[in-house]
Amino acid sequence: MSTHLEGVFEVTSWSEDQAGGLEGAAKVTTAGIGQRFTGGIEAETKWDMVMAYRDDGTADFVGYQRLQGRIGDKAGTFVLKGLGEFDGKEARTHLEVVPGTSTGELKGLRGTGVAVAPMGSTGTFSLDYDL
């Protein structure tokens, strides 16, 4: 049976660059985003993300988030795959632990979850996991 956890995150850094080429095409960017998780996961994280924007400012995005920290009393690293959308007010990301990426005491981690980030520098996350 999976364990459920919840917490909050804070955006600690953000850099975003527009991809070049194909003038007149939709805006596509790459972003590097740092976050700090607290609550059910205590970790420093780094997102590498690609975003496709629509003319109305909404966007879809996909990326990988590397985490280093703790789940409960177990320490290690793992990678989350994220697929999400920004509706102009809130970003909602579906998360999945990438199999085979966990290390240390988190080796073998599996799970899925969601992150929700309204405009601003903080948001919430949840994860249902097995270890």
pLDDT in tens, 109-131: 999 999 999 988 999 999 999 99
What's the token pair of residue 17?
């660059």
Mean pLDDT of 81-108: 97
Is the Cβ–Cβ distance between 41 and 72 less than 8 Å? no
89 vs 109: CA distance, rounded Å: 32
Q: pLDDT tens across 10-56, in order?
A: 999 999 999 988 788 899 999 999 999 999 999 999 999 999 999 99
What is the residue-averaged pLDDT of the chain? 96
Is the Cβ–Cβ distance between 7 and 41 less than 8 Å? yes
Tell me what pLDDT residue 57 has. Answer: 93
What's the token pair of residue 111?
């799970």
Tell me what pLDDT residue 119 has. Answer: 85
Tell me what pLDDT residue 1 has. Answer: 87
Check pLDDT > 90 for residue 67: yes
Q: Where do the domains of the chain lie, and which CATH numbers do they carry?
A: 3-130 (2.40.350.10)
Tell me what pLDDT residue 94 has. Answer: 98
Q: Would you place residue 98 in the very low, low, confident or very high pLDDT band (cuts 50, 70, 90)?
A: very high
Q: pLDDT tens across 2-17, in order?
A: 999 999 999 999 999 9
